[in-house]
Structure 1
Amino acid sequence: MAPERSRFSSFIATSLAGLTVLSIVLGIAVGLVSVAFHYLINGWSYLMTGFSDYPAHAGDAHGFLGLSPVFIIAVPVISALLYSPVVEHFTPGSRGHAVPEVMFFVRRKGGRIPGRNALVKLFAASLTLGGGGNAGREGPIVMIGAAISSWVGTRLGLSKQRLMFLCACGAAAGIAATFNAPLAGACFAVELILGVLSAEYFAFIVFSSVSASLVAQQFFPNQASIPLGQSLDLFSHSDYILVTIGAVVAALAGIAFSKLLYLVWDGINLLYHGKDWFRPVVCSLLLGIFLYFFPLLYGTGESVQLRVLSGDFPVWMVLALLGGRALGASFTISMGGAGGVFGPTLFVGACAGAAFGQVVQPWSASSTAIYGVVGMGAAFAAASRAPLTAVFIIIEMTRQYSLILPMMLAVGIATGISLFMTRSTIYTQKLHRRGDRLSDPVSDTLLGRSTASDLMHEPPQLLSQELTLAQAERALENSGETSLAVVDSQGEFQGSVSALLLGHEIDKRGEDTPLRDISLTAAFCTPTELPSQILKELVESSLSNLPVVGRSQEVLGYVRGRDLIVKLYRQQTRALNQRELGDSLGCRIRKRWRNHRHHR
């Protein structure tokens, strides 16, 4: 069996055909998990309230147990009592919205996501969202899809680059299956998870996204996830002016929500000082009271969002729903509930746009729903700075392809406002607050962030400063090195002596002169210094070996200049080999044929 697994892993790792098969299989798997996730959320909601969509029956008694509507206060608490200990035991520190974690694992950890994260997130998110939590489904399903893909890729022994790409495939599949939006899922994976566009890898991401959507369509109707029931058109070019103003309003609402999220997070951290696992339980009591008075805000809220876009509520009610969803989602995620921020951001944008549309209706020739749909894209673009995803996911979710021009205009404006007003996005802010960065220019260099302690070797020999120049010359010849460190009787570093320096000093002072009487080369580095400083010292000192000196002035090791050159050579060779692996089958056959003819 082992040889077969080895051949299969090699086929996947080196063949584009193998990657194609794997990306499709992962898309199917994540699509099935997405379907299961949907039923788990609805099932838990039905068990807790008697309805799979409680907001459609807001304020009613329990659907089949007949319990008083007051029972809704206990629903989030019961849910938190079940999921919070599990999360704290298996994945401590991973509370909140999950997309930032996936972004960090992919870009900074080479795509290695612990497999148990998928199961824990599936369990916790199902109970959080089915139990009334105000959050979105995209965060958990992105984590689940990426974790499944990472687990498969790790088992196959794939390279870091391939593993990162597989995580993007899993994330794209999750978005595609959840919202029936395959193109938006692929854009989401490229813009937010990978952060870089590659034509080759984009094709495989699309394979995963499409296969996941096809799987989901076997269980759910192939229709818009936000079915507006009418075709929306912008009937006047003058309405583009109103679209521009509405985009500004929705963008500001999206940015305000992203700021409120972390403001509430800080507030809970300031007020709660108990055990981490009990934090969601305590906060869920407040969430339950909130839902008792605002039952329309129970759960993910897609049905209420559709009613907002359809114009079922007056302006004051739309604004109340906007504020309530922004506060409820911020509280749910900040307390430690499992959910995403994508859904709430769209809800906030829909409310901001719909309210604006109702206000300007006397001056607009177009439907108020247009401003709500455009507001969704603008709010998400401003919060996430993922313009392609914002355009395509709203168009695919609503199937309003005629709105692509106003949507592009609104998203462009919102992205510009976000760049002007904020340093980070709703996703990266979570990472920045704990000191993590997704992009590090130093890490992208050939030697990366390797420190002197990572690169050094044991010192072959240390010279006492009491040795004569003749003795030092013989020791240097016997060591095979071109320079050695000199220490005093206490073992403290005094400097380095090279063969060139010894030859010059012997001619000048004589062989019996002790090392302590000559001027040694003082260059050295500390264990934490990066390759840039090491190379600078090597160049300026003309040494071939740079001593690594600790805090007590002891010599810990040597960094050899030739070792750095070898490391650069190996990294460059691996990159070239990786490029060769990316060649098509036909290209590789032609190369082998040319090599065969050349050797003949």
Structure 2
Amino acid sequence: MWCAHPLILRVTLLSLIVSLLAAGSVLLFRYLVEFIQIAALPEHQIGGYESLPGWLIFALPSAGGLLLGLVFHQLPLAMRQVGILHVLLRMRAKGRVVIPGKNTLLQFFAGIFAIVCGQSVDREGPGVHLGAGSGAKVANLAGMEEAEGRILVACGVAAAIAAAFNTPLAGIIFVIEVLEVAYQSLRFLPIMASAVLGALLGRFFYGAAPAFNVPALIPFPIAEMGYLLLLALVIGLLASGFIALVEFVNKYSRNWSPLYAFTLAGLITGLLGQLAPEILGVGYDSLSRILSGELLLYGLLAILACKFLATGCAIGLRVPGGVIGPSLLIGGTVGAIMGTLLGSGEHFAIYPLVGMLAMMGATLQAPLAALAALLELTGRTELILPGTLAVVSADLISRVILGRVSVFSALARLTKS
């Protein structure tokens, strides 16, 4: 027999098709968001909502939320389900994983519109849906059985994460920790292959440089490790509070029409944007400024408070975007505040770097994915020890001590109730 595992070989070959579709759709999504931002914003740059006049900072997310709500209000309830939560619920359900094509198409265009209008959400949440939709579509066309179909859905998600962030390892771990796919070495080969191909496609179009420009780092001193534990304590409490805010908003708005929910989310973002316009959109441009130490303490405090509230309300009100990007900005801002107040100047950049991945890990309850992303996003092995200390400690506080589930599990629990 020429092949000992013909089914795994077939799934692996199909996973390459899934990777092309998933990574291609994610990269097209990113391109369209950036193209519109560059074409429409005054300074013709990605992000840069701070350059808008105050009235437009309020009007853009408010009007965008209203228009998005009008569209969703006209759609059947089943078609409105988008994002990582939708994928997680489909993965948890018994039987074959079905990701309707209409929902995936809606996620593509609604996600672009939400981000361009300044809603406080990210592009990675839509990317996970696009990747899962690609895997489910190929599995259906190929007539795959339930188990193999689930692998192809996971392949699409891994490829999407890898292409979006240039983080193949984090993409692989993401499907284990967030989508709860059980690890089996042989069956994970297609998922690993998909992540590699997704990352290669991302590098082809956007280059191989790490996603964030990190200044030169020197080894983190043992004397400041206590400060990192304090940072982890704050991050753990903040992540728990963020999940509680999302739960609270979602619980009391579950029966609202999208027209009211999205409009309210836009109004909240527009009002908070008057204090901190950096919160509009994904916020990666603001995160880059934070890492380079450009923002003063009062600006960091304003971004932290406003981004926390705007994103918590947007996710709770079901705006069609993701939470990964905002969690990075929130954590990076906390780290920058701690670094400004307590850290020494030569180690400042380590605090926001560690903070942003600790917040992501505690919010998603994906500490291994956060650690992998920390290394892949920065390309700095010096961050292994301080990063592990902060990520693990923050997750312990949020999950073990305070008893929080991940933000997606919290929303899934409310959906079933």
TM-score scaled by structure 1?
0.64
Whether 2:337 is the aligned partner of 1:345: answer no
Shift of 1:279: 3.4
Aligned partner of 2:409 in structure 1 is 428
Question: Following superposition of structure 1 onto structure 2, how do residues 254-273 of structure 1 map, counting pairs within 5 Å?
Answer: 254-266=239-251, 268=253
Residue 178 (structure 1) shift:
0.7
Whether contact under 8 Å (1:96, 1:337) holds in the other structure is: no
1:197 aligns with 2:179: no
Look up the match of 2:378.
398
Counterpart of 2:83 in structure 1 is 98
Q: Shift in Å at residue 161 of structure 1?
A: 0.7
Please point out which of 17, 23, 47 is paired with 1:31: 23
* 1:220 maps to amino acid: Y
**1:419-458 alignment, distance < 5 Å:** 419-435=400-416
Could you tell me how far apart the structure 1 residues matched to 2:258 and 2:345 are? Answer: 53
Alpha-carbon distance, 1:142 to partner: 0.3
Shift of 1:295: 1.8
Tell me how far apart the structure 2 counterparts of residues 43 and 293 of structure 1 sit (CA, whole Å).
Answer: 27
Partner of 1:409: 389
CA distance in 1, matches of 2:191, 2:205: 22
Contact 1:173 1:185 in 2 (8 A): yes
Q: Which moved more, 1:286-295 or 1:199-208?
A: 286-295
Q: 1:336 aligns with which of 300, 315, 318?
A: 318
Change (3 A) 1:133 1:392: same
Decide which of 27, 32, 35 is 1:40's aligned counterpart: 32
8 Å contact kept, 1:125–1:339? yes
Give the CA deviation at 1:388: 0.9
Q: Partners in 1 of 2:352 and 2:132 — Cα distance?
A: 31
Alignment of 1:147-162 (within 5 A): 147-162=133-148
Q: Is the 8 A contact 2:273 2:279 kept in 1?
A: yes
Pair 1:231-2:229 in alignment: no
Instruction: Give yes or no for contact 2:65–2:265 (8 Å, CA) kept in 1.
Output: no
8 Å contact from structure 2 (residues 8, 187) kept in 1: no
> Which residue is 1:302 aligned to?
284
**Are the counterparts in 2 of residues 134 and 328 from structure 1 also a CA contact under 8 Å?**
yes
- Whether the aligned pair in 1 keeps the contact of 2:159 and 2:199 (CA below 8 Å) is yes
Could you tell me whether the CA contact under 8 Å between 1:97 and 1:341 is conserved in 2?
Answer: no
Aligned to 1:163: 149
Sequence identity, in percent?
27
Check conservation: 1:257, 1:345, Cα contact below 8 A: no
Structure 1 residue 299: Cα displacement: 0.5
Encode CA deviations 1:368-407: one digit per residue, 9 max, x unaligned: 1111111122212222221110101122112222211211
Amino acid at match of 1:150: A
Structure 2 contact 131–153 (Cα < 8 Å) conserved: yes
Q: Give the corresponding residue for 1:16.
A: 8
Q: 1:255 to 1:283 in 2, by over 3 A?
A: closer
CA contact 1:244–1:409 (8 Å) conserved in 2: yes
Q: 1:194 offset after TM fit, Å? A: 3.2
> Partner of 1:339: helix, strand, or coil?
coil
Q: How far apart are the structure 1 equivalents of 2:71 and 2:141?
A: 25
Query: Which residue type is aligned with residue 157 of structure 1?
Result: G
1:171 to 1:124, Cα distance in 2 relative to 1, 3 A: same
Given that 1:345 and 1:376 are in contact with CA atoms closer than 8 Å, whether structure 2 keeps it comes out as yes
Q: Is the 8 A contact 1:141 1:174 kept in 2?
A: yes
Cα contact 2:331–2:357 (8 A) shared by 1? yes
Look up the equivalent residue of 1:143 and give its one-letter code: H
Corresponding residue number in structure 1 for 2:349: 369
Partner deviation per Cα, 1:253-286 (whole Å, 9 max, x = no partner): 22222222223334556xxx86433532354244
**Alpha carbons 2:163, 2:201 under 8 Å: kept:** yes
The 1:154/1:91 distance shift into structure 2, 3 A limit, reads: farther
Which structure carries more strand by proportion? 1
Conserved in 1, the CA contact under 8 Å of 2:37 and 2:47? no
Query: Displacement, 1:309?
Result: 2.0
The AA in structure 2 aligned to 1:340 is G
Question: Could you say if the C-alpha distance between residues 75 and 113 of structure 1 is closer, same or farther in structure 2, counting changes exceeding 3 Å?
Answer: same
Letter in 1 for 2:281: G
Q: Deviations over 1:49-88 (max 9, x none)?
A: 3455465361345xxxxxxx52333322443354334444
User: What do you get for the CA RMSD once the two structures are aligned?
Assistant: 2.5
Do the aligned partners of residues 320 and 216 (structure 1) sit closer, same or farther apart at CA in structure 2, a change above 3 Å counting? same
- Provide structure 2 residue ranges, at least 5 long, that are not aligned to the other structure: none
**Among residues 62, 65, 80, which one is paired with 2:65 in the alignment?**
80
Count, aligned residues: 412
Residue by residue over 1:545-584, the C-alpha shift from the partner in whole angstroms, topping out at 9 and shown as x without a partner, is xxxxxxxxxxxxxxxxxxxxxxxxxxxxxxxxxxxxxxxx
1:180 maps onto 2:166 in alignment = yes
Higher fraction of helix:
2
Normalised to the residue count of structure 2, the TM-score between the two structures is 0.91
Identify the residue that residue 234 of structure 2 maps to in structure 1: 249
- How far apart are 1:93 and its partner, in Å? 5.7
1:524-563 correspondence to structure 2 within 5 Å: none
Query: CA separation in 1, counterparts of 2:220 and 2:388?
Result: 17
How much has 1:235 moved relative to structure 2?
3.7
Larger Rg computed on CA atoms: 1
Q: Deviations over 1:95-121 (max 9, x none)?
A: 687212211201214322112221100
For residue 308 of structure 1, report the CA deviation from its aligned partner.
Answer: 1.4
Helix, strand or coil at the partner of 1:287: helix
1:432/1:275 CA distance change after superposition, 3 Å: closer
Is the alpha carbon distance of 1:55 and 1:14 closer, same or farther for their aligned partners in structure 2, counting shifts above 3 Å? closer
- Structure 1 residue ranges without an equivalent (≥5): 1-10, 62-68, 437-600
